[in-house]
Amino acid sequence: MKNLLVMKFGGTSMGSADRIRVAAGICAEQRQNRPAVAVVSAMSKITDLLLDSLRRAEAGDESGVDFNLHNLRERHHEACRAMLEGDARAATLVGVDALIADFRRICHGVRILGERPPRSVDEAVAIGERLSSLMMAAYMESTGVPARPVNGSSVIVTDALFGNASPLMEETRGRCAQVLAPMLADGILPVVTGFNGATADGRPTTLGRGGSDFSASILAASLDASELWIWTDVDGIMSADPRSVPDARVIEQVTYAEAAELAYNGAKVLHPRTLAPLVERQIPVWSKNSFHLAHPGTKIVPSTPATPGPRAVTSMANVALVSIEPASAAVTGARIMARALESLAAANAEVLAFSSSSYRQSFCFLVRNEELAPVMKNLEAALALELAHGYLKPIEVDQNVGLLAVVGEGMRGTPGLAGRIFMAISRQNVNIIAIAQGSSELTISIVVRRDGLERAIRAVHSECRLGAGAPGEIRDVAEPAQGR
């Protein structure tokens, strides 16, 4: 749709009545000039609360569930009371209570069953987003802006991988044309729930934690939006997570490829799958701060003027390094690798880094901790014979590690950069366990001990002069490290 703006508001941007007022104000202002769609997350910490309630229900902890439900109700009632009045308030409170009653029913079912069927979890956990969209649309209506809550499950069609579903783009495009386009044509602002979808036959799904960014990009692509703005609680994509690197600075522009690498390697500011639907149509994305409206944020674009050196560093702590080493020359390394990678694919696990070396063809790879159990199960089954006969050494798993990734298109063909990064890490007395760099030279992935991860990231950030006080400069990465 011509000139359409899709805007996503994250958990902190929806975290209270005051924050919802700000988000609604942004929407009202933008829709004066062009059609707009809002995509909303659950209020901050609500998804964790819902998941915790389901775990408690499974364990039979009825009073724990009741306590959580009380808090859930209080948080949303308080927001409604603070921003709505009269009939609008009464009607919204009824809607809030109906959704909480649905959640209670699912918890009850889980308690009786003694287990959490993934499909029920997805249905239950999306209630956080449904509460947000209900309140935001009601508030906008009360200020005279026509708005309607829309359940993402009516517009985003996905496969049936509950908890981490992928969109079926053609079907989703059709639903968007049926459901959202008529509202937009009538001047109504749809307030769509982030995070959730449904299979073509209507079974509820979710897109993975932090998935509201992905919902927004799916909708932006399906509606041929002209821009996507992602509103969060920092000034944009920064040279590092400001929580671990205090002098991290906002980057004016990054490419899709850089932003995708950063997200994939742990920069929480963007869900890893956000950019994929947008690349084909080259829809520009802005990352903006709803707590600091004057700041323009970061623009994510197809390409940027070349600046030598890295753009940003990122890290991931909840990871495991799996090492496999042949014990006999009788095994063919490539075959073992092929089977290991097959088992990772079958476990639906992502390989965060892969490295192989030595004439014995030992190799190691990094996966997320939460994917480790299915990965190990599949690996041990796939390599059972070789392990039993001693052709392979027992598989080693090290969970005491972290991943540091240095990202930037400008790293391509820059001699000396890797050396400087490794020196900076070793000056912190942090041992490098494994290294991987693809031939695209867009990312250098470095595995270090977990307890040295924060020091290493700060050291690399400072060595590459990514911090505040170095705005927009052309960095001379070939410059020797002495004297800084």
Q: How far apart are CA 197 and CA 81, in angstroms?
A: 29
* Nearer residue to ligand ASP within complex by CB, 39 or 238: 39
Q: According to CB under 6 A, which residues from 155 to 174 bind ligand ADP?
A: none
Q: According to CB under 6 A, which residues from 119 to 178 bind ligand ASP?
A: 128
Using alpha carbons, select from 395, 380, 372 the residue that is nearest to residue 339: 380
- How many CA within 13 A on the CB side of residue 330? 7
Cα dihedral 372, 399, 453, 445 in deg (nearest 10)? -50
195 binds ligand ASP (CB under 6 A): yes
Using alpha carbons, select from 98, 256, 88, 122 the residue that is nearest to residue 193: 122
Note whether 311 and 407 are within 8 A (CB): yes
Residues 6+ apart with CB under 8 A from 127: 50, 99, 100, 102, 103
| Selected binder of ligand ASP within 31, 36, 39, 41 (CB under 6 A) | 41
Residue 362 interface partner, choices ligand ASP, Mg ion, ligand ADP, none, CB cut-off 5-8 Å depending on type = none
Q: How far apart are CA 380 and CA 367, in angstroms?
A: 16
Long-range contacts: 454-457, Cβ < 8 Å, 24+? 454/244, 454/315, 455/428, 455/430, 456/404, 456/424, 456/425, 456/428, 456/430, 457/240, 457/244, 457/245, 457/313, 457/314, 457/315, 457/404
Residue 145 interface partner, choices ligand ASP, ligand ADP, Mg ion, none, CB cut-off 5-8 Å depending on type = none
Residues 6+ apart with CB under 8 A from 467: 239, 245, 247, 248, 249, 461
In angstroms, how far is CA 112 from the centroid of its own chain? 33
| Selected binder of ligand ADP within 269, 372, 375, 459 (CB under 6 A) | 269
| Selected binder of ligand ADP within 97, 233, 247, 398 (CB under 6 A) | 233
| Selected binder of ligand ADP within 126, 156, 312, 464 (CB under 6 A) | 312
Instruction: Provide, rounded to whole angstroms, the least separation between the CB of residue 270 and ligand ADP.
Output: 8
Q: Where are the beta strands (DSSP E) in 47-87?
A: none
Residue 240 interface partner, choices Mg ion, ligand ADP, ligand ASP, none, CB cut-off 5-8 Å depending on type = ligand ADP
Residue 421 interface partner, choices ligand ASP, Mg ion, ligand ADP, none, CB cut-off 5-8 Å depending on type = none
| Side chain identity, residue 375 | V
Token representation of residue 31: 């829709």
* Nearer residue to ligand ADP within complex by CB, 13 or 255: 13
Residue 194 interface partner, choices ligand ADP, Mg ion, ligand ASP, none, CB cut-off 5-8 Å depending on type = ligand ASP
Q: What does residue 452 show for φ and ψ, rounded to 5 degrees?
A: -105, 0
Q: How far apart are CA 316 and CA 404, in angstroms?
A: 7
Token representation of residue 1: 């749709």
Q: What does residue 313 show for φ and ψ, rounded to 5 degrees?
A: -125, 150
Residues 107-146: x where in contact with ligand ADP by CB under 6 A, - otherwise, as a string? ----------------------------------------
Find the residue with minimal CB distance to Mg ion: 210
Residues 2-31: x where in contact with Mg ion by CB under 5 A, - otherwise, as a string? --------x---------------------
| Selected binder of ligand ASP within 4, 5, 9, 11 (CB under 6 A) | 11
Residue 483 buriedness (CB in 10 A; 0-12 / 13-18 / 19+): exposed
| Selected binder of ligand ASP within 4, 6, 7, 47 (CB under 6 A) | 47
Taking CB under 6 A as the binding criterion, the range among 171-179, 263-271, 329-337, 366-374 that sits at the site for ligand ADP is 263-271
| Selected binder of ligand ASP within 95, 167, 190, 194 (CB under 6 A) | 194
**DSSP 8-state class, residue 393:** P
Find the residue with minimal CB distance to ligand ADP: 10
Residue 47 interface partner, choices ligand ASP, ligand ADP, Mg ion, none, CB cut-off 5-8 Å depending on type = ligand ASP
Residue with tokens 């009380």: 70
Residues 191-220: x where in contact with Mg ion by CB under 5 A, - otherwise, as a string? -------------------x----------
Using alpha carbons, select from 244, 243, 221, 225 the residue that is nearest to residue 234: 243
Residue with tokens 């090492």: 323
Q: According to CB under 6 A, which residues from 403 to 422 bind ligand ASP?
A: none
| Selected binder of ligand ADP within 12, 120, 153, 253 (CB under 6 A) | 12
Residues 205-234: x where in contact with ligand ASP by CB under 6 A, - otherwise, as a string? ----xxxx----------------------
Residue 217 interface partner, choices ligand ADP, ligand ASP, Mg ion, none, CB cut-off 5-8 Å depending on type = none
Residue 277 interface partner, choices ligand ASP, ligand ADP, Mg ion, none, CB cut-off 5-8 Å depending on type = none
Q: Which parts of this chain interact with ligand ASP (CB under 6 A)?
A: 10-11, 41-42, 47, 128, 194-195, 209-212
Q: Which parts of this chain interact with ligand ADP (CB under 6 A)?
A: 10-13, 41, 210, 232-234, 237-238, 240-243, 262, 267-269, 312, 314
Q: Which parts of this chain interact with Mg ion (CB under 5 A)?
A: 10, 210
